[in-house]
Structures are given as C-alpha cells and as structure tokens.
A = this chain, B = another copy of it.
Amino acid sequence: MRKIASGLAPVIPLDRNAKKPLHRQIYEGYRKAILERHLRAGQQIPSTRALALELGVSRIPLLNAYSQLLAEGFFESRAGSGTFVANLLPDRVVRAPTRPAARANMHSGRRPVSSRAQLLPPFKAVPWTRGSGAFSVGQVAVDHFPVDTWSRLIARHSRRLHARSAHFNDPRGDRAFRQAVAEYLRTARAVKCDEQQIMIVSGSQEALDLSARVLLDPGSQVWIEEPGYWLARRVLTLAGCELVPVPVDRDGLDVAAGMKLSRTARAAYVTPSHQFPLGVTMSASRRLQLLNWAQSCGSWIIEDDYDSEYRYGVTPIASLQGLDTNARVIYVGTFSKTLLPSLRVGYLVMPADLVDRFMAVRVAMDIFPSHVNQAVLTDFINDGHFGRHIRRTRLLYAERRERLVHCLHNEFDSRLESVGTEAGVHLTVTLPPVIPDRPLSERAALEKLWLWPLSPCYMSEPSRQGFILGFGSVATAEIPKAVRRMAMVLRPETDARN
C-alpha cells in the first residue's frame, strides 16, 4: 500500500449551540468523511490531544467519539503508532463515483473557454516522446551529470535558509546568479550585457512567453522559421499573434523572403546558432541583413540560443545579440541542454530600456523565480564546475555525434541525408519526400525507438520528411545497434522507393 499522509485533520464543523452533543458531531463528521472518501484507508488520525487543541474543545468528547469509531470499525488502533482509518470497503467500489469521467457529467450550462486557448492543439504525449535513449530529442547525458558536486552544493544551500532567501525577491532572480550568468554569456557567447539585463525564468519557454507578452500585441505579425520549433509557434499563438512562416535555406532564415511576406512584422523569432530543426548556422551576411531590417522597421529579434554550447567545428559562433548595435535583440538561453531539462532554469537578456516593462510583466506572471536552484547554480558556475561540465560533455557528445553520422552513412548510404551535424545534441535526417515520416515514427515507437518526425516542424505543407535524432541520452557504444534497428524499421519504405 502506498504511504499515506499522517495526522491531517478533516474539516468537521462543530456547533456548540446545537442540541446534538459535541462527541456526536465529531463522530458523524469522521464517519461522513470516511464514507465519502475524504479520508482514505490507512490514513493517520490526529491524536485526541492534538485535535482538542486545534478545535478548542476538551478531550472528553473526542475520546468518546474516537472510541465509538474504533468500536464500529471506522478507525483502527496500531500499538505504538496511533489511530488510523480502517480499510473498510474495497477501494474500487467507493472510488468510482469520484472519477473525473463521472464528475465531468455533473455540470451543465455554458462553459466558455478563451478563444486563444481553443486555438492551441491538445497536449498529448505522442508515441515518440515516451522514452529516453536512442534517439529521443531534448535529452542529455544524465549519467554524466556531476551528481556528487550538485548534491553537496544543494545540501549546503538547503541548510542556509535565512529570511532573505525565504521571502519575496527581485522579479529578475538573485543578483549573484544574474552576475554569474552575465559573465558566462559575455565570455562564452560574446553577449553584450550586465546583470541588470538578465531575467531568470523557468526554462526558455517562459522566456519566450514573457518576451511575447512584453513586445507583441494581438494581431502583431511575427516571422517564424519554416521549418521551426513548434513550441515557439504555440507561445506566439497564445499571445494572439499572426505567424509568418519564412523559409530557411543553408544560410538560415531567408531575410529577403521575410521582407516580401511581411516587411513590417513586429518581430522575428530565430535560432541562428543551430537552426531548429535543420541545424544550419545563420551566415554573417544574413545576420547583418536581419539586424538592418529590424532597425529600419522598428522590429524586435528574439534569438533562441538553445544549444550553442555544443559546437564541433573549429569556429565558435558568437551570438547575434553581440553583433547588434541597436539593442533590438532579446537573447534567450537555457540550462536544459547543458545540465538537465527538469531543472527548469533559463534566462533572457533584455535590452536595457525594456528592463522595467519586462519586470512589470514578470511580476504579474509568477512574481519571481524559485531560490534554491539559483543559489546552487551560482556556486556551480563560479566554482568552475559548469565550465568543466560543458567541456567534458562537449567531448562526449562529439564522440556520439561522430559515431552516429558514421553509422547513418554506413547503414543508409545516400538514402538518408544528414543535416545540422555541426552543433547541438541532435541532428536531422531527411527522407525521400514521398515517404511520410509520422507513420514510421509511430511504428518505431512500438519498438521503443524514438524517432521524432520532421514534418510537424512545418506550419504550412511540409517540403521535407525526416527525423530529428537526439544523441544526448544514448551511449556511444549503443549507437551502431540503434541505427541498425532504425534501418529495420525503415527498410520496407526506404528500399521500395529508391
């Protein structure tokens, strides 16, 4: 049996002026709570002493009520550990009427939902997101995470609770942490910033949401990359924006095409370091074109630099924000790829003149970020663990990437084309365009092989089919076997059509 919370008191309204004696009211309150399953079998009941104190009554009526409930088998007493709700009735019989399906039928009348909420696709766990390993996207090498160091820092900080860390704080996050992040971004990404411009958020998704709410109005046109990151589309849809899909070629977002489609768009969302999902790096001339467009049209650029820490070529790529001389770029980054997605820690760099508006909106959204992870990460960065971890995982992922590229070439030859292999913890393979990717992804998931289809990255008709292959959570030695399994799944199609 699952462990049960102990000692919570149910809501028993006592009426001292009622004719019914107190012990009877208490008895009936508990009896009702048990029969209606507000109290569950095995749950601990507060001692009569504790409950008397809480209800402001003497222990006598409680002792009376408890002894009756024990006698009737609603309570049971366990020597040395207290009084518990008895296992009275089979769970399923009584739980049935509280199931959501049943309750959902209990309502009637109009139940209006916002128009924007209706525009969003339902959350459903699609088959290819159900596991980790080959080739799930957005996952990292958990087994290489420095658990000991992290645990030591967390233990240090969870013992250091004091008033300052326990009450409401700067909506941007802890100053020391913002300093560490600013320094990291200046050094490693050539971002122009200081800690005043850093906002700590719960992952890059909140950074996009916050930016949309500060910068964009319902009906604002926004350039998005086609193909592109579907969760960026969702947050812009929720903001009521009109999405303008702009094609991506081997130099990144096609700025000239964007200007033809919507010259005066309010903003552009881009992933210049490692375009998601095609993996191209935006060329220097495109970067300058994009910055010039933004400046001439009074538009904003949201730069999502989600995995730029991992580059395997000789030339590191500086951020787009670092090239911007007009404070038109909102820079977004995350610790989801370098550390763990479940940390939910990301950051954005705000143009200095917008700091005030970003703070005002953030307060209305969730006031300020959680403290402990920030304190731990500050030490983790400042003590050099972060730099070491990136360096170590960069070598690890470089090895996995190389093995994957090699195996894909061996197994598929020219039937699959690999793109975007120079950075990040995933690469993309494209199928011959006549083969739809989704049914294959579904088939692969039955074999516990996770192939994220490429076609859902398109807003309009997909011009490519393929798979996004994550290699963050698959050991190098496992890769050849996984690629062979992938070939087995794809064989009927890839053989037939080539």
Contacts and interface: CB of A to CB of B under 8 A. Distances in A.
Enumerate the 9 nearest inter-chain pairs by beta-carbon distance, A residue then B residue, closest first.
A110-B298, A6-B384, A100-B352, A7-B387, A342-B371, A344-B370, A234-B364, A123-B359, A132-B163
A350 B69 CA distance: 34
Given A314-B55, A382-B4, A163 B139 contact: yes
A190 B138 contact: no
B215 A113 contact: yes
Of the candidates A39, A100, A209, A314, the one having the most CB atoms from chain B within 10 angstroms of its own CB is A100
Interface in A178-215: 179-180, 183-184, 186-190, 192, 194, 196-197, 201-203, 205-206, 209, 213-215
A217 interface: yes
Interface in A344-370: 344-345, 351-357, 359-370
A151 B161 CA distance: 10
A93 interface: no
A44 B388 CA distance: 12
B184 A8 contact: yes
A2 B133 CA distance: 40
15 contacts: A5-B187, A8-B187, A12-B316, A55-B314, A101-B352, A107-B327, A108-B326, A109-B295, A111-B298, A111-B351, A117-B361, A120-B357, A139-B166, A218-B218, A342-B372
A3 interface: yes
A259 to B, nearest CB: 16
A202 B73 CA distance: 41
Contacts of A150: 158
Contacts of A388: 7
Given A7-B391, A107-B327, A238-B364, A159 B167 contact: no
Of the candidates A188, A360, A381, the one having the most CB atoms from chain B within 10 angstroms of its own CB is A360
A10 interface: yes
A460 interface: no
Q: How many copies are assembled?
A: 2
A-side interface size class: 35 or more
B234 A382 contact: no
Contacts of A351: 107, 111
Of the candidates A103, A209, A367, the one having the most CB atoms from chain B within 10 angstroms of its own CB is A367
Interface stretch (A140-148, A243-251, A408-416): A140-148
Contact of A117 (B189, B194, B360): B360
B123 A11 contact: no
A161 B3 CA distance: 22
Contacts of A463: none
Contacts of A123: 171, 356, 359-360, 362-363
A497 interface: no
B190 A161 contact: no
A112 interface: yes
A2 B171 CA distance: 23
Interface in A1-24: 2-16
Interface in A222-237: 231, 234-235, 237
B106 A326 contact: yes
Of the candidates A103, A218, A220, A295, the one having the most CB atoms from chain B within 10 angstroms of its own CB is A103
Given A194-B100, A215-B113, A186 B107 contact: no
Contacts of A203: 366-367
Contacts of A298: 109-112
Contacts of A342: 165-169, 370-372
Contacts of A55: 314
B186 A166 contact: no
A477 interface: no
A256 interface: no
A473 interface: yes
A395 B51 CA distance: 12
Given A109-B295, A190-B10, A356-B122, A361 B166 contact: no
